[in-house]
Chains A and B, each alone.
Chain A
């Protein structure tokens, strides 16, 4: 039997491996497809979409921090109409699982966006209720468990696609939000989004980011992410997609051991455009050498 040890099925969607590009770090996949064959990777969580086009925040939108970066893009995106008409015809040809990441200001906006992207040819939806960089970018829905449940239910009513709910770590108890997403009908949970933070220039006494605050990502957040993935794994029954500072195949293994079925890779793409195929090659070698499958390793943390 030559079963692919890295294959994973999440809510009925088949991924050839557990490496998914994290939303906001991979555009709509088209830029990286000029650099390598992106059909190699498990999937792409596409750049966050809103019903109408959004210009995002003013620059600077990025700041370097110890072991990470802060960003404050502010959900700049072309809106659902341009996404469906101009982007999807090209994105469909990439040959990997496509996940539309959607954000909004109101329940109705989430509902309409979900309806439109569901008919666009994507395989799944990731509900972004955790963007820290816009005043009403869904973060309002991501903090309180009741509103997490309400927005999850609303999107489920308006889409038949499998739904991933992406959680913010900027809450008092993430397990409550994970449980609320599951109750609302989520098919999977992804975590963590960036941790809210800021960078300051002591010489100018100004924040480095124009938006003052931003979202921290990169190796600095990995310990927080691992803890939260493990906590959520012990709380819900639905699959978990873990993310936060994954830079190498050993980082991937750690997330799988803590209970993730798959992972998303974000900041690593920004540092190195070929990070994902490089991590994948290492991961394939590891599973082959150890005669293991992803499923066998999942949630095997010994405590």
Chain B
């Protein structure tokens, strides 16, 4: 497991959304859906962030985060050259098996999980991302490099007006993907769960929860997962963060 990263750049790419790229050795097993558990200089409890993108050649790791609380506010202030204790890669990541036609679906900040897919899998990608409004759009350029891209905004200020899942529902019968990889807010995931059921398309989703150790020992980051007809509390950090959407029990 790698432990050290050094900030190369850290800038605001949309209101309150930052993109941090750091120098980091990328272990071979790193893949889309893994996360990095970062210790801030001022706060010992680590913060988990999905690995947005990585480059083995350039030895860089990218995360995209929203400034929401004290921790992310501190993080947004770290300048080039700041060394951080960061554990990665953690979590299971997306296991796409032999799937070739891949839909990537992101809602809001959930989009941050997707770009690493191009470094992790070979296949034919179609990306769908949705935001509240034009000013909130992130990572569209990065995702357009990997295949077709559909952008939706709730207010119609850019791309298609409506929810990202409207777009997914329309394209799914045309493009017939083998698998959908997704991350986003709960209403989007609930809607995606219905679509997945209706079309019988395997859908994997990356979840989040308040986390402790990040390695599976403290059992703090529990999410409800239905298996064998029973609901179980499973660990986002070790059993996840990626789960089959049909197993996820939403509130």
Write the residues of chain A forming the contact surface with B, with a CB cutoff of 8 angstroms: 24-27, 31-32, 34-35, 47, 55-64, 69, 71, 73, 76, 269-273
Contacts and interface: CB of A to CB of B under 8 A. Distances in A.
Interface residues of B, number: 29
Contacts of A59: 209-210, 220-223
Contacts of A32: 215, 217
Contacts of A269: 213, 217-218
Nearest to B213: A270
Contacts of A27: 216-219
A26 B218 CA distance: 6
Given A59-B210, A61-B210, A71 B217 contact: no
Interface stretch (B37-45, B131-139, B151-159, B194-202): B37-45
A71 B220 contact: yes
Contacts of B215: 31-32, 34-35, 273
Nearest to A266: B218
Nearest to B46: A271
Contacts of B79: none
A35 B220 contact: no
Interface of B: 1, 39, 43-46, 71, 85, 87, 209-224, 231-233, 238
A31 B43 CA distance: 23
29 contacts: A25-B218, A27-B219, A31-B213, A31-B215, A31-B216, A31-B238, A47-B219, A59-B220, A59-B222, A59-B223, A60-B210, A61-B219, A61-B220, A62-B221, A69-B45, A71-B212, A71-B218, A73-B218, A73-B219, A73-B220, A73-B222, A269-B218, A270-B213, A271-B39, A271-B46, A272-B44, A273-B87, A273-B213, A273-B215
Nearest to A209: B210
Contacts of B218: 24-25, 27, 62, 71, 73, 269-270
A56 B222 contact: yes
Contacts of A56: 219, 222, 233
Contact of A62 (B44, B87, B212): B212
Contacts of B1: 35
A75 B181 CA distance: 33
B213 A25 contact: yes
B44 A271 contact: yes
Contacts of B223: 59
A76 B212 CA distance: 15
Given A25-B213, A270-B212, 15 more contacts: A31-B215, A47-B219, A55-B231, A55-B233, A56-B233, A59-B222, A59-B223, A60-B210, A71-B212, A71-B218, A73-B218, A270-B45, A270-B217, A271-B39, A272-B39
A69 B44 CA distance: 10
Q: What 3 A-B pairs have minimum CB-CB distances, sorted nearest first?
A: A27-B217, A60-B210, A271-B44
B43 to A, nearest CB: 7
Contact of B233 (A62, A71, A76): A76
A63 B214 CA distance: 15
Nearest to A201: B69
Contacts of A31: 213, 215-217, 238
Given A31-B238, A270-B45, A273-B87, A58 B222 contact: yes
Nearest to A56: B233
Contacts of B39: 271-272
